[in-house]
Structure 1
């Protein structure tokens, strides 16, 4: 048997299903989807439909992908069923975001019902979800800042690559390797390395400061040597030697 939560207005199935599997007196409830508003009703319906003589009820939460403040209500529904019918209950299989929320709430992420569910934790649940979302927002803000920095840095980096390509007859990829290697050698941000290269190409420009200048020169030599090696190897190949001897 499967019970689906129903949206309060349009009757469409909400993103949660509760499957029921009974083996003897043990019942296993398999929850799939999101534990959000209205989902406690779906769990209550599944529990109400259980036959008499049940000796244990376990909720398998491995299929739960999101948990919000309604999650505690669902767990309390299961806990109250156990008290009314005097049967042990459990809720295991938590992972990902739901497990993180349980940890923030101070509950056992393996089985939050194992030690008994404290009363009056709705505020704590809301706080836990708020902290979870705040952490996710911080990560997104950092990614946005990094993307903006990359966009702002792109023009000067492209200019520096053009300067290196003209000065050393290298490819765009080789120019990139030179900038990156100089950045790593001197622990200097790539944008600063590119700005120094671009500034040095101006009519009244000055060479990059040390040790950046030495690092750039070393990177140019390494890239040039690496580019010559395949050509020299081809020049010394047996096929070419045979043709030259003939």
Structure 2
């Protein structure tokens, strides 16, 4: 199986800021090029970076972790990292994690120094996301099982996992482990089976 191509990350100067435009999927394999692109943009800018994620096909917490770390770096330099456009896949991650407001600069001006309380909260968020990444392999495996079992795309399988997790009141990685265990011959719990079926139906109904 050929590996999926990495994202295309375009960095260009625009006045005293740098504009970064990303096209493609932002997952665990895209973290290094995304980090390099944002670092280059921050170094080359005076006041910060405007980030266009309107053409991102998939986004997960690995990419969000990189964005949060880049934002912290920008604040330490008296700059900002602002999201100027986002795809629905990015919106979903921002809304689920409550981090959208961290990337808004309504006045269009850079913060002069980082607020200590803001930085403390940001560091906690980054640590939490890094811990969440430890569960990433089983979540990826469960997503692959859903794709193969129900003929879903990568983004659809992710939406099924999130939807079923929310309705079953089960942590995402616990649900993923249940799916993997079932695929390995285990007996699925009735509630999980019902929630997965309902989530698949819901995602298919919402798909264009």
Please report the TM-score for the alignment, with normalisation by the length of structure 1: 0.43
Q: CA 1:143–1:14 in structure 2 vs 1: closer, same or farther (change >3 Å)?
A: closer
Aligned residue in 1 for 2:26: 35
Supply the distance in 2 between the matched residues of 1:140 and 1:114 (Cα, whole angstroms). Answer: 34
Q: Does 1:91 align with 2:83?
A: yes
> For each residue in 1:104-128, what CA deviation from the matched residue of structure 2 results, as whole angstroms up to 9, or x when unmatched?
11222xx54239643323156879x
Q: CA 1:88–1:36 in structure 2 vs 1: closer, same or farther (change >3 Å)?
A: same
Gaps of 5+ in 1: 1-9, 145-246
Q: Secondary structure at the match of 2:86?
A: coil
Gaps of 5+ in 2: 106-117, 144-157, 165-195
Q: Does 1:114 align with 2:104?
A: yes
- The residue correspondences of 1:34-73 to structure 2 (distance < 5 A) are 34-50=25-41, 52=44, 54-73=46-65
Aligned residue in 1 for 2:160: 133
> For each residue in 1:80-117, what CA deviation from the matched residue of structure 2 results, as whole angstroms up to 9, or x when unmatched?
33034221211232232321222111222xx5423964
Supply the distance in 2 between the matched residues of 1:97 and 1:75 (Cα, whole angstroms). Answer: 15
Supply the distance in 2 between the matched residues of 1:21 and 1:29 (Cα, whole angstroms). Answer: 7
Point out which structure has higher relative CO (alpha carbons under 8 A, 6+ apart). Answer: 2
Supply the distance in 2 between the matched residues of 1:100 and 1:143 (Cα, whole angstroms). Answer: 14
Supply the distance in 2 between the matched residues of 1:67 and 1:25 (Cα, whole angstroms). Answer: 28
Please report the TM-score for the alignment, with normalisation by the length of structure 2: 0.50
Quick check: which has more Rg, 1 or 2? Answer: 1
Q: CA 1:44–1:124 in structure 2 vs 1: closer, same or farther (change >3 Å)?
A: closer
Aligned residue in 1 for 2:13: 22
TM-fit CA distance, 1:45: 1.6
Q: Secondary structure at the match of 1:15?
A: coil
- The residue correspondences of 1:143-222 to structure 2 (distance < 5 A) are none
Q: CA 1:52–1:67 in structure 2 vs 1: closer, same or farther (change >3 Å)?
A: closer
Q: CA 1:29–1:139 in structure 2 vs 1: closer, same or farther (change >3 Å)?
A: same
TM-fit CA distance, 1:78: 1.9
